[in-house]
Amino acid sequence: MNKQKIFMDIDGTIINSYKALCYVYNNTYNNHKDFKPAQWYLIERYDAKCQCPLLNNVLELFDSPLFFENAEFLCGNTYNVLKKINEIYDLIPTSIGTFTNLSMKAKWIRDNIPFVKQCILLNNGANTMDKSIINMSGGIIIDDVLSNLESSNADFKIIMGDEYEWNKSDKYIRCYNFVDLERILL
């Protein structure tokens, strides 16, 4: 029997990426004369510059092994809800990143979500950084980035997490957490 596919973003949807990112930033820049500790729950910009002003490019933190050593699920019940979703749907984590980031992300998925049988990890290089390359027709996309929802051909689209500049929209259902997601999908 074919299950409906759910294409679920990883950073900011499954993983609390900003918490891990701030951990790496604080450990990397703590000896800099202008350093101030970054607080993940105060991030209001996608590039994290509001809390990580010493960064040239936020991607350098996503490529750090420390990022994945400290990556946690978005909230306490994420794992259990993912497991329930996977029993009913074909759960396919999806992500965009550098080759370094994606190789560590694949290992994190294998170690932390062992029931997942497939994932789609994209390195779009100089191409548009969205997930339009994935055929999601007939499926559901869950992502914290509005442009990924807008560029997807999925039949049903859910915005995950709190509202920020990069994901403001009244066009799609918003799930603030995995309690909301479980209620909608299960």
Would you list the domain boundaries of the chain?
5-15+72-185, 17-69
This model's pTM is above 0.85:
yes
How many angstroms from the chain centroid is the CA of residue 167? Answer: 13
Q: What homologous superfamily is domain 5-15+72-185 in, according to CATH?
A: HAD superfamily/HAD-like (3.40.50.1000)
pLDDT at 130: 86
What's the mean pLDDT in 129-136? 91
Which SS3 state, helix, strand or coil, does residue 133 take?
Answer: coil
Length of the chain: 186
Q: 156-160 and 120-122: which strand pairing?
A: unpaired
Average pLDDT score, the chain: 94
Backbone angles phi, psi at 142, to 5 degrees: -125, 120
Helices first, then strands: H and E counts in the chain: 7, 6
Read off the pLDDT band of 46 (50, 70, 90).
Answer: confident
Which SS3 state, helix, strand or coil, does residue 143 take?
Answer: strand
Cα angle value 51/16/7 (rounded, 5°): 130
Question: Mind listing the pLDDT tens digit for each residue in 58-67?
Answer: 888 999 999 9
Amino acid code (one letter) for 47: D
Query: Which residue shows structure tokens 């590039």?
Result: 47
Query: What separation in angstroms does the CA of 69 have from each of 88, 129, 179?
Result: 30, 25, 26
Cα angle value 142/126/141 (rounded, 5°): 10
Instruction: Please say whether the beta carbons of 136 and 7 come within 8 A.
Output: yes
